[in-house]
Every structure is written in structure tokens, then in C-alpha cells.
Amino acid sequence: MRVLVGWDDPADAETIDLLLNVDGNQAEVVTDAAEYERAAAEDDWDVLVQALSFPSRETSLELYDRIDQHDGNGHVPVIGVWHQDEITELAQFVSHGLHSHLMRDSDGSFLLLLTSMIDAAQTAVQAQQEALISERLRQEVDSVRRLQESVIPRDLIRPKGYNLAARYESSEIHVSGIVPVAMAGGDYYDVFELSDGKLVLLVGDASGHGVKACMSIMTMHSMIRMIDSSKFSTTAEFVTEVNRRMCANDIVQDEGGFITLLYSMLDLKTNRLQWTSAGSPMPLLLDLGTNEVKPLGYEDEAGLPLAIEGDWKYECFDFEVPVNSRLLVYTDGLEEAFPVSDAGHDQFGIEGIISSLQSSSMLPLDDALEKLFSDSMQYTRGQGRADDTSVLLIERTA
């Protein structure tokens, strides 16, 4: 630690120099105001110490203010050392931003406290700087999160004979165990209509969190919207082409990233749904008449996540969406929710999802989706999901 001291008593200055230049610390004690001001402006110091009567009572505050201007960012704390009869001067220094202060006694015992005061001042400034950095990081995470959420549609298409509800929630972490912070993530959903009257429904999940995951998912979003889907006869062919391009993309490939995707097309004329999974959970179908829920496929039928193997061939699945049924398309953050305090990490799982869908079958679609998220959150005991979650809930009414 480097300490600069401006002092008014040469005899005390020698003692202070001996006290502070120990244990690897470097201290410079000066009794000349011009030298003190020059050193404060030219060198990097961890802490400054200034006697409130240095160089005199009348000019000490002016000297302090000039030095404070040199340290425009306020990174270097200043400890003021004052005589008992300098309470007025002390009040002025404090009003000008003095970091901390120590009273001088006549027998010099205050010198024994000076080292502790210097250590405390540096620790306090470091804590303040860390808090500022933490806040800046929090703001940057929030900016990235808003960027990622900007690709999620706000107004869903409502085709005749169908209702749609959708929701995205980012994961949460806890800072100091108290303040929840919504993390920037790599989940998203999208719903859009093609020129041939088919409706695209998809959910995607990039590995990891933060800027990397956000940029990966935005890259895929742009790619999916840019590729002419009419050139591909099936969803499997389309996803195969997306995967080939993602494997060649540096943003996604960096640090071994990958993306899971459930890409589906609903033919609004025939009510047939065609879909392909690239590592994403298979859709779940709820029959509102029987309240039975069944998966539309098995876990081992899902293809490899995108951006892992460029030559991978994906499978296409097809079925007719029945009247009076609900279809759930989701990312694994919903299924994998668990209480952080649970050492066994027992997950909400498919069973929890099915139970929620069945218990909400009589509710309107939006309320059923709200209950699904509420049940998942309740399962985590209010601690939040550790992964991002995107959900599409589609109901055929006619």
C-alpha cells in the first residue's frame, strides 16, 4: 500500500515515516505543501493523510480542495488529522468530502491508531469501488437481457380456430442471498405466419447465459427469419439447413456453444402439425375431453442440438391437432426447475408439467399458462428457476 502524508510537524513526520514504512508498505511523509501537492498529483497513492493545520489552518482546506480536484474520480481516500480545538475546521473538511478523520492528542498516542485508520480507509474505498462495478455489471446484464427479449414477439397471431399463449422468463440468481437478479439468457420463442398460410411455432435455448447466449440466440433468430422456408418440403430439411449454417457461425461456435430448437409448422387449412426437435423436449398434448396428457414422441427421438455436428440429419414428425385439445411446446428450464436448497435436485419434471396442465384444463388458456409458471415457481419454494424458460401453449377450439 502506498501512502502520502502531508504534515505540519517535522518531528512527528519522522515518527510517522518509521511507523508506516513497514510490512511492505511505502509511505512518503512531506512537510512542504508544494511538494505534497505535486506528489499527490503526479503519483498513484492508495491513501492520503493530511494534517488539518498543514501548511496552516488558513490554507489547509484550499490545499485539500486542489488535491481533491486532481483525484477527479474520488478513488483515493483522504484522512484528516485534527487538533481538539480544530472542530470548526473539521466540519468544513467533512462538508467538502473528507473521507475519515482522526483526532491528535498531546502525547502522540493517535499515531498508534493511524495505521489502522489507513487500512480501514483503503478497505472502505475498495468496497465502494466493488459496489460500483457490481452495479455497472448489473446494468449491463439488464441491457443484454432487454436486447435478447427484443426478438420475442409481443403480439401473438390469433388464427381462426386457435388460441395461443406464450411466455418467456429469464433465470434468476441471488446476490448476497437477498437481491434477485434476472440474468440475460439464451431462451426465446417465436410465432409467425408464412406466405402459404402455415404458422411457425418454435422455442429455442442457447447454452449458457449472458452476452454469448444472447448473441447465439439472436443469430439463430435472424437466420430462421432470413432462410426461405418454401425451399424445404419438411421441417427436418429446414432444421438441417439451419444446423449446417450454425455450425459455421463463429459466434455460436465460440467456447463450444450449442442451441436446442423445437421448430414446428401448423397448416391452418388441414390442422396438421409438422415438427422437428434439435435436442428440445417433445411437445405435450392435452385432450380437454379426457384430461389425458401424452408426449408427442420420445426423448431419444430428439435430434442433436444445433451447432455440434454439421452433417446431422434431423427427423420430421407429423400429426393432426385434435379439436378441443392443447399443445405445449417448451424449453427444458420449465422441466428442470428445482429448489436450490434441495441437495437431491429433484426437478419439477414432466410429472409436474402434466399435473399442472390437467389441473388447469378448465381455465382460460392465459390463466392455464400462468398457473404452469406459478406451479413451477412454487415447486422451487419461490427461489426461481436456475435456467431460462420459454413456453408456447396452443389450443384448437374448432
Decide which of 83, 103, 131 is a domain's last residue.
Answer: 131
Residues 21 and 127 in one domain: yes
Q: Same structural domain for residues 27 and 122? A: yes
- Tell me: the pLDDT tens digits for 90-132? 999 999 999 999 999 988 889 889 989 999 988 888 888 787 7
Whether residues 224 and 114 fall in one domain: no
Is residue 180 assigned to a domain?
A: yes
Q: Is residue 139 part of a domain?
A: no
pLDDT class of 64 with cuts at 50, 70, 90? very high
**Mean pLDDT value of segment 21-49:** 93
CATH number at residue 110: 3.40.50.2300
Residues 163 and 97 in one domain: no
Do 174 and 127 share a structural domain?
A: no
Determine, yes or no, domain membership for 140. no
In a domain, 141, yes or no: no
The region that residue 378 occupies, defined by phi over 0 for left and psi between -120 and 50 for alpha, beta otherwise, is alpha
CA angle 179, 183, 186 (to 5 degrees): 165
Percent of the chain exceeding pLDDT 70 equals 90
Query: What are the tens digits of pLDDT across the range 209-256?
Result: 777 788 888 889 999 999 988 889 999 999 999 999 999 988 787 767
pLDDT category, 353, cuts 50, 70, 90? very high
Domain count, the chain: 2
pLDDT in tens, 279-297: 999 999 999 999 999 999 9
381 and 290 in a single domain? The answer is: yes
* Number of other residues whose CB lies within 10 A of the CB of residue 255: 8
Residues near 333 by beta carbon (within 8 Å), at least 6 away in sequence: 169, 171, 187, 205, 385, 386, 387, 388, 389, 390
The residue with greater pLDDT, 271 or 44, is 271
Phi, psi of 201 (to 5 degrees): -130, 125
Residues 109 and 197 in one domain: no
Mean pLDDT of the chain: 88
Are 386 and 246 in the same domain?
yes
| pLDDT: which is higher, 108 or 56 | 56
Residues 165 and 243 in one domain: yes
Q: Is residue 138 part of a domain?
A: no
Q: Which residue has the higher pLDDT, 128 or 260?
A: 260
Are both 198 and 258 inside the same structural domain? yes
| The predicted structure's pLDDT at residue 317 | 96
* Domain membership flag for residue 163: yes
Query: Is the entire prediction scored with pTM above 0.75?
Result: no
For residues 173 and 313, state if they share a domain: yes
The per-residue pLDDT for 183 is 58
Instruction: Compute the average pLDDT of residues 195-216.
Output: 86
Domain-terminating residue out of 131, 162, 178? 131
CB–CB of 373/167 below 8 Å? yes
Full residue range of the structural domain in which residue 205 is found: 150-396
pLDDT at 135 over 60: yes
- Rounded to 10 degrees, what is the CA torsion of 136, 139, 143, 148? 110
Shared domain check, 381 and 339: yes
- Say what the pLDDT of residue 108 is: 85
pLDDT tens profile 153-177? 888 988 999 999 999 987 765 444 4
